[in-house]
Structure 1
Amino acid sequence: MQFCTTVFAEEGSSDYEPVTITLNLERSGLGENVEYTFTEMPDGVVASGDQMADFFFDLGLEKQMVGYTKGSCWSRVSEYPARDEVPQLLEPGMGLTNMSKEELVETGCDFLMGWDSLFSDKNFGSEFCNENGISMYFPYVCSDHATFEDLYKDYETLGAIFKVEDIAAEKVQAMKDTIEEVKNTLGDEVYESPISVFVYDSGEDAPFTACQGMPGEIIKYAGGISIFDDIEAGWATPSWEEVVERDPDVILIMDYDGDVEEKTEFLKTCEFTKDLKAVQEGRIYSACCSDMQGSAGSANAIRILAEQLYPEMFQ
């Protein structure tokens, strides 16, 4: 395994305690890990998508941001005024890969946060980022086997880099408190016999669905279990026949940009899903895609999902 070490700002700030991070970018096709040592705080953050932007909004780091994209997976967290104050670099629905390298450099970006595919050679690869003084950040929570511990690690890491450790710790504790409240409300019996859930993200010829990783973790905390929990990946594309065979109790639609109604109609008319008991019984719910992948709203997503699965326990 190769390591590429990049040290930013050789002089650094005398009162800035250096922070070293190692990113696993093997999934992106780079075939290497990338290590950074920060010797001063980045002040040109670009976040790729609402999922990434919410980390910075939640930590109060909007002044360090020079822009973000909403992407196609929109956040439902509404209490951040900075969402309308920080420049959106592209039209809502468009991803950062629609920007040219020259356009990204012109923003003054020195810290780029996104999924590992963003840093593949065909997009903004390590060579390009190194040449232009841009540090790459692929969240730990986006790995195939991520848990809330990885989300906490992202908060702690970003807190150290941007010197908001106390705020990061408060946010992590708030998440833990929310999860504990849900667990106490549901009780042990629910977790011993969880409701089976089919997550419908997208796809008509075959469904793109959540299995393990962060989405699987959120479902489990909410008292459910993905019908594809046996697949060793965060997301996968099984067949419709497999969905029918596993006959879920509930269908959970990933809400991107208000497309739940359209997806619901598809499930009600699709030859494979229209006769599923979840469809026949009207047990079709939705969850914010951004939160389900791991972000500021993930702990609250557990509460929202648990209230949908077990409404009688939250009256």
Structure 2
Amino acid sequence: MDWIEKLNKSIRYIEDNLDKEISYEKLAGFADCSVYNYQRMFSYLADKPLAEYIRNRRLTVAAFDLLNGRDRIIDIGLKYGYESQDAFSRAFKNFHGVSPSRVRNETVQLRSCPKLSFQITIKGEHHMNYQIEQWPAFRVMGISYRVKTEKAFEVIPGIWEAAWKNGVMDSFMTNYPDYRPAGFLGIAEGGRWGNAEEMRYILAVTNWVDGEECTPISPPEGMEEISYPAATWAVFEANGELPEAVQRVYKQFYTEWLPNSGYALADLPVIECYLQENRQEVWIAVENK
């Protein structure tokens, strides 16, 4: 199945389950990636977070239910996942600008969030510098954090900020071996069929590469060692001011590069490499379709 069709299948799943529980794990399964990577991919393709899109679609169809049906307001709220009429009314007013009761009793203006449909559009606004590397097995040493998947985009910047303040980054610099993937690493790790509610985010440096003339570096006290297998990696240059430079790479990767590359996402973490002087790399594991 074509990658774009897989994404559209995930959208159809959302539409079919607006009045039911929507499994993020199933959505990620349609696209053959982790929950975290699906959320990241969705946000760059749709220009809005996945949770916001689902909420807005539910509130859109809830307005039609109010206009065309006779169900009580509380029953419509419960239908679309709200635990009380007050919670539903607050969310409805935040989106539409009017309360559900006014929709029933007056002629009012409402908002609509249309159903998404993904298509390939080649813009070519920025060229991409990348290389495909058959990289051997390697190990990293670092500190991992359990993060609620739905809060990852909010929490991860705070992890980096705290690491600079509490001495974690100083420890990396003291023990820095300068092996590739190089620099300070931010690794987003979540199993394809694992726990969809949580992911692991790792601050690390590479401490051993198989087949390279390098000496393994033992993790200092308080750090763990994590191994990754030999794989095919698409390595993208993401130089420039943060976070825009890295965000631009992700957006182009998901909207332009991946649909036309002949590759699919592999079930391995995404690695962001932070070097010096606004130089960054993004490592994304891929496999032949």
Alignment TM-score, normalising by the size of structure 1: 0.23
Alignment TM-score, normalising by the size of structure 2: 0.24
* Greater RCO, CA 8 A, separation 6+: 2
More strand by share: 2
- Which is higher, the Rg of structure 1 or of structure 2? 2
